[in-house]
A and B are shown apart, each in its own frame.
Chain A
Amino acid sequence: MKLTKEPGSARSGIGDWYWQRLSAVVLAVLLPLPFLLIVAVYSGSVDQLGLLDLLDHFFSRLLHTLLILALIVHAYMGLKVIFEDYVPVIGWRVTLIGGMLVVMSGFGIWWLAIIWAWGG
């Protein structure tokens, strides 16, 4: 292997690591909720109007927002690590990570617009 000149530290990485773990905790708490809701609907304990009422509630919108944000942060961090691991060409790496950021933010904004019924 080629000897590289000591590059020093970029003082990065701890943020990524921290956010990945924080979002994992949020997901672990919030992700089961939509599944519980589905189970409730299928078992007949919640009907359509009840479901809409639940989703409409300010508090559930807030939780929904948190869930979506955590999901996006977690997916972004996970995929970023994979790109850093397996895409050795810096140009491609940066392009892929940047592209992913754009797509995921777009998706997030679209979803938030649905949750809060912006413009509707």
Chain B
Amino acid sequence: MSEMIRLSIFRFDPERDDKPFMQSYEVPVTKRGMKLLDALNYIKWELDGTLTYRRSCGEGVCGSDGLNINGVNGLACITPVTGLKQPVHVRPLPGMHVIRDLVVDMDHFFDQYRQIQPWMQTDTPTPEHERLQSPEERALLDGQYECILCACCTTSCPSWWWNGDRFLGPAVLLQANRWIVDSRDEATGRRLDQLEDAFRLYRCHQIMNCMEACPKELNPTAAIDSIKRKLLARKS
């Protein structure tokens, strides 16, 4: 008999259940390097088709399967099952409204993303070919552009839990910084204006949960700090 993994998974169907509950499953280890997403797929395809979760790429690129795994946020598709303490507790991202089982409502998160206007803004005429960037200028985007908007960081941030209606949260602030440091973007001033706010930006108390949570090993705390330093520099 193959090795089995025990899981305890958050279940909630608002149309049927009064309260959420944890349901236990046992799943065989089907392959070497098996990931948590493989275990969820096994449950859905072989054991219980009602289990609901999001996933797409299966390789840490799309950002759709951010989950709370044994109390830590991460992507199911790149989290190896071996090494996880059993039973593996799988819950939806914290602080979010649950639509069903592991699926949460991401509308507000993406609405906040929209608020920082995540596209290149320029005032100068478009050059004939392209807006050039030196290798050094391009290097400033490293550690910023890789974000896949999985929300693992933002939903692990206590400040966002308490004041998420106004605080933009680490993921969105990292993206705000991504456009601020982009040499081709010409809206830096307007962007900083939009962030200079006790709630939108300064709710970050450097708790650094976000950095711990990021499956892409990005550092939103540093990005937030860099925005704060830019605001300070333009004031003093």
Give the interface of A toward B (CB within 8 A): 1-4, 6-14, 16-18, 81, 84-86, 88
Report yes or no: A1 in contact with B196, Cβ–Cβ below 8 A.
Answer: no
With A3-B107, A3-B108, A3-B111 known as contacts, the answer to whether A14 contacts B162 (CB < 8 A) is no
When C-beta atoms are compared, the residue in chain B nearest to A3 turns out to be B111
- For the complex, count residues of B whose C-beta is within 8 A of A: 29
Would you call B31 an interface residue if the criterion is a C-beta within 8 Å of the partner chain's C-beta atoms?
Answer: no
Distance of A8 Cα from B201 Cα, bound (Å): 12
Distance of A12 Cα from B205 Cα, bound (Å): 16
Residues on the B chain within 8 Å of A6, using CB: 115
Residues on the A chain within 8 Å of B97, using CB: 1
Report yes or no: A10 in contact with B197, Cβ–Cβ below 8 A.
Answer: yes
Distance of A47 Cα from B57 Cα, bound (Å): 76
Sampled A-B contacts (17; CB under 8 Å): A1-B96, A1-B165, A4-B165, A7-B166, A9-B197, A10-B199, A11-B196, A11-B197, A13-B197, A13-B198, A13-B200, A14-B196, A81-B205, A84-B203, A85-B159, A85-B163, A86-B162
Report yes or no: B164 in contact with A85, Cβ–Cβ below 8 A.
Answer: no
Distance of A9 Cα from B201 Cα, bound (Å): 9
Known: A14-B196, A85-B203. 5 other contacts (CB 8 A): A1-B164, A6-B115, A9-B200, A84-B198, A84-B203
Contact residues of B between 163 and 217, Cβ < 8 Å to A: 163-166, 193-203, 205
Residue of A8, A14, A17, A86 with highest tally of chain B CB at under 10 A: A14
A-B CB pair tally, cutoff 8 Å: 63
Residues on the A chain within 8 Å of B55, using CB: none
Report yes or no: A12 in contact with B165, Cβ–Cβ below 8 A.
Answer: no
Residues on the A chain within 8 Å of B48, using CB: none
Binding stretch for chain A, among B10-18, B32-40, B228-236 = B228-236
Report yes or no: A17 in contact with B200, Cβ–Cβ below 8 A.
Answer: no
Would you call B105 an interface residue if the criterion is a C-beta within 8 Å of the partner chain's C-beta atoms?
Answer: yes
Within the complex, what minimum Cβ distance (angstroms) separates B142 from chain A? 27
Within the complex, what minimum Cβ distance (angstroms) separates B196 from chain A? 5
With A18-B232, A85-B163 known as contacts, the answer to whether A12 contacts B198 (CB < 8 A) is yes
Query: Which 5 residue pairs spanning A and B have beta carbons closest together?
Result: A13-B198, A13-B202, A1-B108, A9-B197, A12-B198
Report yes or no: B195 in contact with A2, Cβ–Cβ below 8 A.
Answer: no
Distance of A7 Cα from B162 Cα, bound (Å): 18
Q: Mark B113-156, 1 if CB is under 8 A from A, else 0.
A: 00100000000000000000000000000000000000000000
Distance of A10 Cα from B108 Cα, bound (Å): 20
Report yes or no: A10 in contact with B198, Cβ–Cβ below 8 A.
Answer: yes
Report yes or no: B228 in contact with A1, Cβ–Cβ below 8 A.
Answer: no
When C-beta atoms are compared, the residue in chain B nearest to A14 turns out to be B231
